[in-house]
Amino acid sequence: MVTLALGCSEKIAIPTPTEPTVFSTSLKPKKSTAGIKGQIVWQGILPTVAGFRAPISPLSEHIGNPRLAWPNPSTPKINPKNNGLENAVVTLESTEPFSINAEGFPPIEVETNQFKMLVKQAGVFSPIGFVRQGDSVNFINRQDFFFSIRARGEAFFSIPLSQKNKPVQRSFPSAGVVTLTSGTGQFWMQSHLIILPHTFATRSDKDGLFEISGLPEGKHNFKVWLPNWQITNQEIDAETWEITRLEFAKDLEKTFSSTASEEPSLEVIKISGSDLAIKK
């Protein structure tokens, strides 16, 4: 018991705590162990996607260079053994950040090298990267050649990469798909950034398999995204008559529902030519 004197004679007794205060942890969000598993497979005849032959640059000073073979940047990777579709993006359809999933994605570096553009994330190179909304990405040129990267979709900018190995950083405040292409005529250089308000996203492996963990339990809506390889327009350099840029048909977006649980069953999502409006 502690007494506190007020004035000259008046006293007030203040009780002394006999036990320390214990703060409950029950209100802290717990990481969920629920998730979904699935496989994305191609249904029907496998598509044939033609490549291109072009010099390393459409500009006149490179016109005498040999014409090299370049693949269509959106060519789908389909496993001939099981028709599994690789690098298909699967995301939770939600605008909520979900406090139980507060961690961000691993940092990203978009790299130009050997006249290719790839996304490096968690030590893996791929044509697709995942970015938490508001986070930044490093762009870096690894070869002695001037490149410019052009962003379209949910971001609109151009980045000159004139100095080798010097990163340039950009942030992405809006959620959605950002398509990155060359602004210096290397039309086969393309990659994509998936900007999300949460981290419930993945891409399928070489067998078309995917898994998203840490989801709130229950039924949710998801979206499969895949770039379209069908070309709708080509921009041509007026002096060299070489291709400088490609325009592609609308990307695939297919929704499905699945129930997140601790022991999820395998969800099979079939993709066919009709989903991409493939011309016969």
Range of the domain at 236: 36-276
Q: Give the single-character DSSP code of 144.
A: S
Percent of the chain with pLDDT over 90: 72
pTM of the complete model: 0.85
β-pairing, 34-42 vs 266-271, is parallel
d(CA 161, CA 142): 10
Is 173 a domain residue?
A: yes
pLDDT band at 26; cut points 50, 70, 90: very low
pLDDT band at 27; cut points 50, 70, 90: very low
CB 232 within 8 A of CB 2: no
Is 262 a domain residue?
A: yes
Total tally of structural domains belonging to the chain: 1
Extended strands (E) in 64-182: 68-70, 77-78, 85-86, 89-92, 108-113, 116-121, 124-126, 128-132, 136-141, 147-153, 157-161, 168-171, 176-182
Is 153 a domain residue?
A: yes
Is 98 a domain residue?
A: yes
What is the number of alpha carbons within 13 Å of residue 95 lying toward its C-beta?
3
Q: What b-and-e string marks burial along 126-140, b requiring 16 or more CB atoms within 10 Å of the CB?
A: ebbbbbbbebebebb
pLDDT tens-digit map of 52-72: 999 888 876 666 778 899 999
Is 159 a domain residue?
A: yes
pLDDT tens-digit map of 127-170: 999 999 999 999 999 999 999 999 999 999 999 999 999 999 99
What's the pLDDT at 19?
Answer: 41
Is 31 a domain residue?
A: no
Q: What is the CATH number of the domain that holds 130?
A: 2.60.40.420
Is 8 a domain residue?
A: no
Is 20 a domain residue?
A: no
